[in-house]
Amino acid sequence: MTFFIPSFILSLFGIFTMLGIKEKIAFNQAFYLILAVFVFFFTKRFALVFRKNKTIFFWLSFFLLVITFFLGLESRGSKRWLNFYVFNFQPSEILKVFFIFYFSSFLEKGSFYLEKIKIFLKNLLIFLIIVFLVFKQPDLGNAIIFSLIFFTLLFSSSIPKKIVFNFIFFSFFFLPLGWFFLKDYQRQRIVSFFNPHFDYQGASYHMIQSIISVGAGGFFGRGLGFGTQSKLNFLPESHTDFIFASLVEQFGFLGGFLILVLYGFLFYLLLKRSLFFLKQKDEQENFLVIMGVLAYFFFQMLINIGMNMGLFPITGIVLPFLSYGGSALISSFFLLGLIP
H or E element that contains 83: strand 78-83
pTM of the model: 0.91
Taking phi over 0 as left and psi of -120 to 50 as alpha, with beta for the rest, 280 belongs to beta
The domain total for the chain is 1
C-alpha 96, offset from chain centre: 8
CA dist 94 and 284 (Å) reads 23
Q: CA 89 → CA 6, 53, 92, 244, 320, distances in Å?
A: 25, 22, 9, 23, 17
Helix boundaries (H) for 309-339: 326-338
**Pairing relation of β-strands 73-75 and 88-89?**
unpaired
pLDDT of residue 256: 95
Residue 304 C-beta-side C-alpha neighbours within 13 Å: 30
Residue 109's nearest CA partner among 101, 120, 98, 100 is 120
Dihedral angle over CA of 209, 210, 215, 217, nearest 10: 110
- Can you give the pLDDT of all 340 residues of the chain as single tens digits? 689 999 999 999 999 999 988 889 999 999 999 999 999 999 999 999 999 999 999 999 999 999 998 887 777 667 787 877 766 778 899 999 999 999 998 776 655 567 777 878 888 899 999 999 998 888 888 999 999 999 999 888 877 777 778 877 877 777 777 766 677 766 766 665 555 555 555 556 777 888 888 888 888 889 887 887 877 677 878 888 899 999 999 999 999 999 999 999 999 999 999 999 988 877 888 999 999 999 999 999 999 999 898 888 878 789 999 999 888 999 999 999 999 8
pLDDT of residue 25: 93
pLDDT of residue 131: 92
Residue 39 domain boundaries = 4-338
pLDDT of residue 193: 55
